[in-house]
Amino acid sequence: MGVSERDRAEQLLRAPVRKGDLGLVFDESVASSPEIHVEGRNFYPPMLADISSARSSIHINQFGFRPGSIGDEFAEALIAKASDDVPVRVVVDRQGSDPDRGSRGFYERLLAAGVDVRVVRATQLRGPVQPVSAGGPTRWNFDRLGSIDHRKTVVVDGRVGWVGGAGIEDHFHDGRFHDLFLRVAGPVTAQLQLVFVATFGWLGGVIRSEELDDLFPEPEEPAGSAPATVLHNAPGGTRSITSAIAELLDGARESLDVVNPYVTNGRMIRRIADAARRGVRVRLFVPATANNWACAAAQHHHHAALLRAGVRILEYPTMLHAKAFVRDGQDVLVGTCNLEAWSLRRFFEIDVLVRSPGLAQQFDARFSAPAEVVSRPGRALTGMRERLKARTFATLSPLL
């Protein structure tokens, strides 16, 4: 019998967590009642309901957590639970959440209420491990430089986990950005919990060993369970998501849905085209107008080759921001990883792979089929100027 996630967490608590400790790799586990929620108006309410039901812990890892209509609603929910003596811990990325400047007052409220906030500072040579307003000492930041934390997870009581592409920000709430989350329960939640515990410790956060029984409760496997694994990309060489995406693309035999806003990695694009050439029915969902114009230009350079291979490119009318793969009506991968160099090789990213025909059908009913109805067919570039621009940015794509 392998070492449990609780035992791995206990080992991490015995010494300072180093960057190398974050390269977590997991065996296959089980998810109970996995469910896809599409659009902020559909995933934020049940996420808030889970937070409101918390009894022992709330752990949030968010690239973008900012003040606004939905951010304030989450803040109030966290403050309420902290006032009930439920430990509330939050990890945010400085680039995505801006806790020291534009969002400073927002984070001062969380800190004053007892919420323990930690900050990943990938672009600062020196800085504190908490928001500046917490008043902690600054430190050299060499081990964090370049390590953007792009993850978006919520873990409640060690029993329920959420993983998806959206920040806690208004443009995901009001429909300007089209995204989704996967909700899971059961044993696989312990893997999400361990990733958070390791990250929190790396940022100087303290979790007492007496808390571990609550953080890692005895798992339950009710009816409706499906094989599932948390996949994690961490700076330093751990790229479980990148490897899993390549295996999904290479192993497709009948059908393949690829949903991603930034499709620029040449190797992954060739894999998508190869799948179509093998006779796989491939749909590639991308935004009609991406918010990152450089990535959009690089992606459009590849449209002609993808279309010739037989890939159906579907351009969603608003900013499609979701990241997901569905292979052969069975394997569903959902999370934060984009198909560009930074996500695949350099950022912190987190996905969950679930093997479930039922979840694949649910994904099609809730995301793919409705998206296909409103999307326009992707096109190959024709004008010389736009083709030259696209080729230039495709060449630069390893840096984008």
Q: Is the pLDDT of residue 149 over 80?
A: yes
Q: What is the pLDDT of residue 327?
A: 98
- H helix count then E strand count, the chain: 16, 20
Same domain membership, residue 202 and residue 57: yes
Range of the domain at 279: 239-399
Asked whether the predicted pLDDT for residue 96 surpasses 90, the reply is yes
Concatenate the DSSP letters of all residues of 8-46 into one string: HHHHHTTSPPPGGGG------EEEEEEEEEESHHHHHHH
Max CA separation in the chain (angstroms): 65
Number of domains in the chain: 2
Q: Report the pLDDT value the prediction gives residue 59, as an integer from 0 to 100.
A: 98
Backbone angles phi, psi at 320, to 5 degrees: -70, 120
Identify whether residues 209 and 243 lie together within a single domain.
no
pLDDT in tens, 224-273: 799 999 999 998 888 999 999 999 999 999 999 999 999 999 999 999 99
Task: Return the minimum-mean-pLDDT range out of 48-52, 152-156, 175-179, 389-393.
Answer: 389-393
Question: Per-residue confidence at 299, pLDDT binned at 50, 70, 90?
Answer: confident
Please report whether residue 96 resides in a domain: yes
59 shares its domain with 203: yes
Taking the chain, what is the end-to-end CA distance rounded to the nearest angstrom? 43
State percent of the chain over pLDDT 70. Answer: 98
Residue 132 has pLDDT above 70, yes or no: yes
Q: How far apart are CA 106 and CA 79, in angstroms?
A: 11
Closest alpha carbon to 386 in 260, 300, 269: 300
- Residue 253 forms part of a structural domain: yes
Residue 139 and residue 63 share a domain: yes
255 and 169 co-located in one domain:
no
pLDDT for residue 50 = 98
Q: Is residue 128 domain-resident?
A: yes
pLDDT digits (tens, 9 = 90+) for 355-376: 999 999 999 999 999 999 999 9
Regarding whether 137 and 67 lie in a shared domain, the answer is: yes
286 in a domain, yes or no? yes
Residues 150, 246, single domain; the answer is no
At 383 the pLDDT is: 78
Looking up residue 290, the CATH number of its domain turns out to be 3.30.870.10
Lowest average pLDDT, out of 74-78, 96-100, 106-110, 389-393, goes to 389-393
In a domain, 4, yes or no: no
Concatenating the DSSP letter of every residue in 255-269 gives EEEEE-S-B--HHHH
For residue 182, being part of any structural domain is answered with no
Asked whether residue 225 is domain-assigned, the answer is: no
Statement to judge: residues 212 and 264 lie in one domain: no
- Any domain includes 22: no
Do residues 373 and 249 share a domain? yes
* 253 shares a domain with 210: no
The residue with tokens 């993983």 is 163
How does the average pLDDT of the chain come out, rounded?
Answer: 94
What pLDDT is recorded for position 99? 98
Within this chain, do residues 244 and 148 fall inside the same structural domain, yes or no?
A: no
212 shares its domain with 245: no
